[in-house]
Amino acid sequence: MEIGCIVLNWNNYKDTRECISSILSSGGSVRKNIVLVDNFSTDSSYEKLRSDFDKKIHFLRNDKNMGYAGGINAGIRYILKNFSCRYIIAFNNDLIVHENFFDDITDVALRNEIDIISPVFCDYETKKVKFEGVRRFIKPLLHHIQIKGNYGKLEWWPAEVVMGAAIMFSIEFLENEFWFYEPFFLYCEEDEICVRAKMKGYKVGVCGKTVVYDKGKMSIKMGKQRKEDSFYLTVRNRFILAKLLRRYGYFSGCELSLFNICFPMACFLFSLLNMPDLKTSKAIMKGVKDGLKAEIMPHYVYGR
């Protein structure tokens, strides 16, 4: 079996190098076409990675930082154009895969006809389970209710949403549906694509036979500006997600109205608790303002 692997890099040589190295050394019978997508890094990490992995993997460099959604979409487009793959899997660059990862996850996906699947996420340092998927949303706040306790007991289980940091798609889904919604830029992409897929009858789940080790905050140099950007995008994108889910029929009109009341109130209370950090509070409230007035664009503008 042949699959495509996308690893996204932006100014992070060390983690990206370790992620790609783990993919190359994972073994198994699955043939892997690895594509490094660089989101216009400015720290020479792209050049170093080309030097390290030249002739071992493929390289694609965007002419600007397109965020997670745009970067992964660019990688999907490249793989569909250049290879014949049964599945395409996208990785954050702060993950390490275990031995036989690709054989295990493709075997489970193929036998159970799962269109969108992710592994179990474990902490890189402690090796403890961090994430097993989302069972459902609490709609007034779009809050995740997580699945817990399945790892080690089941081969796979259905989920409302799986983690976008390591997410595999069937070629049937990618050839027939739109991909990530690029105006998100970062955060909420997997929520939208998984809910949309399930509403169209595709199967979404988590593979209990595979894990990835997630460095998470270990790999993030969370300076003040990055922290503010993170809060802003998280808040703004919740409003965009709610509007998209209303369009798909997942939200009723009343539920969207309730969200537009409850979520801003929750953000306001959270910003009050963070008043000593005035810039973070301002970023949160700017996210509310921009999210409420955000227009939803057609997927075809950003998709295939």
Mean pLDDT, 10 residues at a time, the chain of 304 residues? 97 96 95 97 96 96 95 97 98 94 98 98 95 90 92 96 97 95 95 96 97 75 70 95 94 92 89 76 93 86 57
How far apart are the two ends of the chain, measured CA to CA in Å? 24
Q: What is the pLDDT of residue 222?
A: 46
DSSP secondary-structure letter at 296? P
Angstrom distance (rounded) from CA 1 to CA 74? 23
pTM score over 0.85: yes
Q: What is the pLDDT of residue 219?
A: 44
Q: What is the pLDDT of residue 276?
A: 61
The H or E element that residue 270 is part of is: helix 253-273
Each residue's pLDDT tens digit, 4-60: 999 999 999 999 999 999 999 999 999 999 999 999 999 999 999 999 999 999 999
Each residue's pLDDT tens digit, 152-171: 999 999 999 999 999 999 99
Q: What is the pLDDT of residue 20?
A: 98
As to burial, measured by CB atoms within 10 angstroms (0-12 exposed, 13-18 middle, 19+ buried), residue 301 is exposed
For each of the domains in the chain, give its residue range(s) and CATH number, in order of start: 2-219 (3.90.550.10), 224-301 (no CATH)
Q: What count of Cα atoms within 13 Å lies in the side-chain half-sphere of residue 301? A: 6
DSSP 229-268: HHHHHHHHHHHHHHHHHHHHTSS-HHHHHHHHHHHHHHHH
Q: What is the pLDDT of residue 216?
A: 79
By three-state DSSP, how is residue 135 classified?
Answer: strand
